Amino acid sequence: LWTKNNQIETQSAEIMKKNEDLQQLNTLKDKIFIIVSHDLRAPLQSLKGVLELINKSATLSADEFVFLTKGIKTRIDLTFSLMENLLFWTRSQMTGFKVKPSSVHITSIASECIGLLHSIAEKKQVTILNKINNDHFANVDTDMLRLVIRNLVMNAIKFSYEGGVVEINSTDRFSEIEIYITDNGVGMSQEEVSNLFGNPSYVSKTGTANEGGTGLGLMLCKEFVEMNNGRLWAVSKAGEGSSFHFTLHPASNDSAIAAVSSST
C-alpha cells in the first residue's frame, strides 16, 4: 500500500506539472495572438496610411516628405525588431537553439546595435553612449548577444524621457564580464522588477511616448544570456531610471587576438 500510494503521489505531481506547463503554453499562445493581431497589425496600418498620404498628395514640400519618411523608418525599425523577436522566440520553442560561441568584440556589437536603433532614439531625442571597455572580448554566440543588447537598449529608449541618456557600460566582475545598460527614465517599483523575468503572462507597460510592449524581448534576453552561461537581472527605482545587467564569460587571450586579426 505504501508503494502504491507513493506511485500515485508521484503520478499526481507529474500531472500537476504537465498542467502547469500547458497553462504556460496557453498563456504564451495567447500572447502570440495578441502580438500578431495588435502589435504587428497596428504599425503596419500606420505605415499604410502614411504611404497612401504620400502617394495621393501632389503638394508635399521637401520638409514634409523628409518628416514623413523619417516616421516610416522609425515604424519599420520597430516592426522589424518585434518581428525578429517573434521569429526567434517561435524558433526557440519549436526547434531550440544551438549556441555557437566565439570570441566577440563587445564594443563592436554595441556600436552595431546603436546604429540600428538610431532612428528610434532620434525621434525621442535620446542620446545613446557606448562606454563598453574596448578591451573586452566575450566567449558568446554573436547573434544572441546582438539580440540581447538591442532589446535592452530599445527597452531603455522606450522608458526614457525626451532628451534622456542611455549608457552601455562594461566592467570586470570576478571571472566574468558584466555589461549593464542604464537609463535615467521612469524607473520601476520593486514589484515590477520582480515580475520582469519568469512570469510568462507579464506584459510590458507603456513607454513614455505611449509605446506598447509585450515582454517577449526580455524573455528572449533572459533565455539567451542563460544559454551562454550568464545571468541577467535588473536594478531600478521608480522615478530614478533603470539598469539592466548581464554577465558573459571572457574570451581567452588567443581567441581575442584572433578576433581582432580577422576584423582587421
pLDDT tens string 116-131: 888 889 889 999 999 9
The one-character DSSP state at 75 is H
The pair phi, psi for residue 168, each rounded to 5°, is -115, 115
Residue 62 has pLDDT above 80, yes or no: no
Estimate to the nearest angstrom the gap between the alpha carbon of 167 and the chain centroid. Answer: 15
C-alpha cell at 78: 520597430
| pLDDT, average across residues 102-113 | 95
Mean pLDDT to the nearest integer, 170-187? 95
Residue 114 in grid coordinates: 546603436
pTM over 0.95: no
Whether the CB-CB separation of 248 and 103 falls below 8 Å is answered with no
148: how many CB neighbours lie within 10 A of its CB? 30
Q: Would you say residue 10 has pLDDT above 70?
A: yes
The average pLDDT across 240-262 equals 78
The three cell numbers of residue 241 are 531610471
What are the cell numbers at 151? 532589446
Q: How far apart are CA 134 and CA 126, in angstroms?
A: 23
- Which range scores top for mean pLDDT: 23-32, 85-94, 216-225? 216-225
- Among the residue ranges 3-7, 138-142, 204-208, 247-251, the one predicted with the least confidence is 204-208
Above 80 in pLDDT, residue 78? no
Q: How far apart are CA 232 and CA 45, in angstroms?
A: 35
Give the model's pLDDT for residue 175: 93
Binned at pLDDT 50, 70 and 90, residue 256 comes out as low
The whole-number pLDDT of residue 169 equals 97
Cβ count within 10 A of residue 93:
12
Q: What is the pLDDT of residue 77?
A: 74
Residue located via cell numbers 500606420 = 46
Q: Does the pLDDT of residue 13 top 90, yes or no? A: no
Question: At how many degrees (to 10) do helices 216-227 and 62-94 cross?
Answer: 50
The pLDDT score that the predictor gives to residue 103 is 95
pLDDT of 257 above 60: no
Cα 203–187–121 angle (5° rounding)? 80
Question: pLDDT: is 202 or 5 the higher one?
Answer: 5
Q: Residue 89: which pLDDT band, with cuts at 50, 70 and 90?
A: confident
Main-chain phi, psi angles of 263, to 5 degrees? -75, -25
- Higher-confidence position of 160 and 196: 160
pLDDT of 187 higher than 90? yes
Q: Across residues 47-69, what is the average pLDDT?
A: 75
Q: Is 251 exposed, middle or buried (0-12, 13-18, 19+ CB in 10 A)?
A: buried
**Model pLDDT, residue 198:** 59
pLDDT of residue 54 exceeding 80: no
